Structure 1
Amino acid sequence: MDTNTQPGAIELIRLTCFTQSVSVRLRSTAPTHEGNGVRYYAADAVITSDFVNGTVPLGFDSDDLTDWGLLLNAAAEAERDGALDDPFKADWPRAGRTAYLRFIAHDPYLVEVHDGPSTRIVVSVPLDMGEEWIAESRERLTAARAALGE
């Protein structure tokens, strides 16, 4: 946990290397609203680095939790198959509704934080993540699902 993480904060996503990170921190485990069996949650995308630090509100729904799991599966497959020379891109949550992360699996990984519907500012953060990042991300997703009752 870095010094900017609030005690007890639930991080759904934490992608990090030596001096920089991108995380998605839940504001609350209670949904902001529900409709048609879908729960909506408020979070913050947080960038921490020696160069830039920033936070942007990000919203996601219960279906987006599944999408994050699928993205992790695709990244694991790309790493296993050695396909990082031909990187894939994925947005989480889906672009257009809220701020979002664009995940570009390459060497190093690149995570872009887009404040799409508001300021249209994009911050790109290259991350040389260790071998265990996918397993750690899956554990974090499982813990967040449990905390959210999903």
Structure 2
Amino acid sequence: MDTNTQPDAIEPIRLADLTQSISVRLRSTEPTLETPAVRYYDAEAVVTSGFVNGTVHLGFDSEDLSDWGRLLDAIEEAEQEADLGEPFTADWPRSGRTAYIRFIAEDPYVVEVHDGTSTQIVVSVPLDMGEEWIAESRERLAAARAALGVGAEDHPGACP
């Protein structure tokens, strides 16, 4: 597990099993840019495993928090349908602006960290997450929204 995480660090996303993890950790709770409708935050994607450990800058905005909530809903729906076709795949935040994570709903789950805007390096980590990971992710998202002052009421359709 990641022993470098500060106890008070805000991680809107943390996907982990017993030996490795990928998380999105805020660098500050203060937005680096703010418009009337959107706040932009500085964060980093952190990969921790016995094979590779690394950090890359990953910025996201307040709308991306809503996107993560919608993505969790879509993953849960895809799991319930258990389609035998291609695995559910989604990027967060939207690729192209900054580094991003790609979530692939396979068995085990695979999470990739893409540094697409800089080095073009991709790190792929299989994660054997427990059954409660979606509920835990929603709790983590709600806690991050509260800490940032970005509530579900700010974004229609967002998950609380």
Q: How does 1:63-102 map to 2 (within 5 A)?
A: 63-83=63-83, 86-102=86-102
Q: What does the per-residue CA deviation read over 1:90-138, in whole Å, with 9 as the maximum and x for residues that have no partner?
A: 1100000000001111111110100010001000001111000000000
The yes-or-no answer on 1:113 pairing with 2:116 is no
Q: Which residues in structure 2 correspond to 1:126-141 (within 5 Å)?
A: 126-141=126-141
* Contact 2:2–2:21, Cα closer than 8 Å, also in 1: no
For this pair of structures, how many residues does the alignment match?
150
Q: Which runs of 5+ in 2 are unaligned?
A: 151-160
TM-score after normalising by structure 2: 0.90
Between the aligned partners of 2:19 and 2:78, the Cα distance in structure 1 is 25
Taking every aligned residue pair, what percent have the same amino acid on both sides? Answer: 75
Partner residue of 1:148? 148
Tell me which amino acid in the other structure corresponds to 2:57: P
Cα contact 1:84–1:107 (8 A) shared by 2: no
Amino acid at match of 2:43: A
Superposed CA offset, 1:1-52 (max 9, x none): 8411012000110000121100000111110011241100011100000000
Once residues 63 and 84 of structure 2 are traced to their aligned partners in structure 1, the CA distance between those partners, rounded to angstroms, is 27
Deviates more, 1:121-130 or 1:79-88: 79-88
Alignment of 1:34-45 (within 5 A): 34-45=34-45
RMSD (Å), alpha carbons: 1.3
Q: TM-score, normalised by structure 1?
A: 0.96
- Segments of structure 1 that go 5 or more residues without pairing to the other structure are none
Aligned equivalents of 2:14, 2:110: Cα separation in 1: 13
Please state how far the C-alpha of 1:86 moved relative to its aligned partner: 3.1
- The alpha carbon displacement at 1:80 in A equals 1.7
Counterpart code for 2:37: G
- Whether the 8 Å CA contact 1:47–1:54 is kept in 2: the answer is yes
